[in-house]
Amino acid sequence: MQLELRDLARLSITLLAALIFVGCQGLPSLAPESVESVTQYQISLTVDGETRSVVSEGRVVRDVLREQGIELALLDRITPGEFTPLADGLAIGIVRVQEVIEIEEVEIAFEKQLVRNEGLAEGETRLLQTGVAGREEVTYKIIFEDGLEVGRTVTRRERVQDSVPEIQMVGIQTSITAIDVPGTMAYLSAGNAWLVSENTGERTPLTTSGDLDGRVFSLSRNGKYLLYTKTTGNPLGDLEDFNTLWVLNTLTARAEPIEMNVVNVLWADWAPDLENTIAYSTAQPTLVAPGWDADNNLRLRAFSADGLLSDEAELVASDGENPSTVYGTRYMFSNNGQYLAFSNATQVGWVLRPDLTNVLTLEDPTDVDDDAETDDDELPADPPEPIDPIIVSVPSEKVVLQTFAAYDTKSDWSWIPDVSWSSNNQFIYTVNHGAPVGLETITESQVFDVMAVSTTSDARISFVSQSGMWAAPNPSPSGETIAYLQAMRPLESITSRYRLVFVDRDGSNPEIIFPAEGQPGLTAQPIIWSPNGQFVSLIYAGDLWVLDVATNQAQPITADGQTTIVSWSN
């Protein structure tokens, strides 16, 4: 039988399908068998002070914690880490960490201060002030690990009560001979003020607190009051007040000091022609060196013997703009009190003091009308709160007489020259920063000259060339002699020692007075004349010395080695 072509094709397809079916039946299956296989690990687990052996079917450390129902607090520490793979014999340790805040009140021991006094016999002591311990609250952050303290950090200290130092006066033997001196002298030693009246053997402590900072220390012209500043105990650079201004009656035993309600004082002194009136300049505390930003202002305030204060008369308002005056401005009253010389890091000049008759008035803000009718059945009214003094603006223009380049100290202080007046108030004596003698820049020049600047003309008289930056010229009360300090190394005057020199008022006949050749020199300081011009007082090797101008003989009047400042008045 003959097949047709289409039947042959159909037969071929059928045979091919049969062959494929038979071939597939002979191949093994490639599908995996469904078998559950679980790996178990033997783990050592230490937690909450207990170590135990556990079996885990997990893969990483975190699985063990889940299986054992262990929760970790925020500060808890686990080793190894939570995502470490498990293995037989793996040791897992958990440390419970706890942070606790604790406040404790602690006692602050008082300091013991010794004040040496040549007026007491050798070894004799006298208690001037009883010491009292202070208190402060200390806040701790304490770290516990598994219940045991492992760390303690102080996070805060708050002073509750200041300590009061114990002060003892100790006698020291001295061979110093007492001498008669005119007027009244005050000096600062170990943070306390001492008074000398007529004889250097008669010395009286005016303060015993040991906290006078020496920024201001000045006797009134009649010697009745001492003007000074006290430290607040706050370090510079913490935005807190660093000192306060006080007045103390030197003629009354155990007089209570008068607080002038003025803080952060850089300069202050007495107005020589006004009764019980002071002038001062202030600053604002800062967090950067030198610890303040000077206001460069000038204010006056009067006070009464019983502590009443006038309003503040502001002659010069704060500038706050000149970077060269960040460190402050110094002032010096003329002999008649009508002018104030001033100096800062780049200028010397003067300020006219206006009439303040109707400005510095003293009124008691707590006064009440004694004649006012009152109801006998009514309780007396509480006294009114004291009225804060106001600032009365009395503008006075600064007149610049001399300018110079600011000296680059390359540190956190600024050089400001001393200023003083001639006896006729026509010249201001100062130190000028001159042109360099080498290749240094003008701001690094080591040349400093004593200069007299006229207040009535354009005259500028150079008295002494290369005197040194701390020359501090000061004329005698008569004006015949100018005293200044001469640097022993004029071109290194910032660190040089100095010698006291007298020169005639025309700049002639310079004479080295003290100390003698071959002896250590003086440190930087103002030169203080006695009121009658008979003596000059100096600080030498930490002691107060008095020099007789007529004989050029000098002798010490203290022996404690802690004297820093002296003031002398009638």
Q: Which residue has the higher pLDDT, 120 or 493?
A: 493
- Give the mean model confidence (pLDDT) for residues 135-162: 92
Q: What is the pTM of this model?
A: 0.70
Cis preceding-peptide flag for 515 (omega within 30 of 0): yes
CA 546 to chain centre: 32
pLDDT confidence of residue 371:
46
* Residue 91 within a domain: yes
Residues 116 and 142 in one domain: yes
Which one of 143, 161, 179 terminates a domain? 161
* Residue 186 and residue 216 in contact, taking contact as beta carbons nearer than 8 Å: no
Residue 383: is its pLDDT beyond 80?
Answer: no
| Residue-wise pLDDT tens digits, 40-61 | 999 999 999 899 999 999 999 9
* Residue 302 and residue 280 in contact, taking contact as beta carbons nearer than 8 Å: no
Residues 87 and 117 in one domain: no
* Residue 209 within a domain: no
CATH number of the domain bearing residue 50: 3.10.20.30
Provide the 3-class DSSP secondary structure of residue 257.
Answer: coil
| Residue-wise pLDDT tens digits, 348-377 | 999 999 988 888 888 665 544 444 444 445
Residues 91 and 128 in one domain: no
Length of the chain: 570
Which one of 161, 181, 200 terminates a domain? 161
Domain span holding position 46:
41-95
- Give the mean model confidence (pLDDT) for residues 499-512: 94
Provide the 3-class DSSP secondary structure of residue 65.
Answer: helix
Over the Cα atoms of the chain, what is R_g?
Answer: 42
Residues 86 and 103 in one domain: no
User: What is the tally of structural domains in the chain?
Assistant: 2
Residues 85 and 127 in one domain: no
Which among 298, 297, 300, 299 is positioned nearest to 318, based on CA atoms?
297
Which among 83, 49, 48, 50 is positioned nearest to 64, based on CA atoms?
83
* Residue 192 and residue 209 in contact, taking contact as beta carbons nearer than 8 Å: yes
| Residue-wise pLDDT tens digits, 101-140 | 999 999 989 888 777 766 566 777 878 788 899 999 999 9
pLDDT confidence of residue 2:
47
* Residue 169 and residue 128 in contact, taking contact as beta carbons nearer than 8 Å: yes
pLDDT confidence of residue 322:
62
* Residue 84 within a domain: yes
pLDDT confidence of residue 556:
93
Which one of 127, 145, 161 terminates a domain? 161
* Residue 390 within a domain: no
| Residue-wise pLDDT tens digits, 179-204 | 899 999 999 998 999 999 888 888 88
CATH number of the domain bearing residue 143: 2.20.230.10
pLDDT confidence of residue 366:
52
pLDDT confidence of residue 369:
47
Please name every residue paired with 349 in a beta bridge, in sequence order, or none if there are none.
342, 400
Strands (DSSP E) contained in 85-133 are 91-95, 97-108, 112-117, 125-129
Distance CA(268)–CA(350), nearest Å, equals 16
Residues 89 and 115 in one domain: no
End-to-end CA distance of the chain, in Å?
A: 162
* Residue 56 within a domain: yes
Residues 78 and 130 in one domain: no
pLDDT confidence of residue 539:
97
Residues 85 and 119 in one domain: no
Region label for 24, one of left (φ > 0), alpha (ψ between -120 and 50) or beta (otherwise): alpha
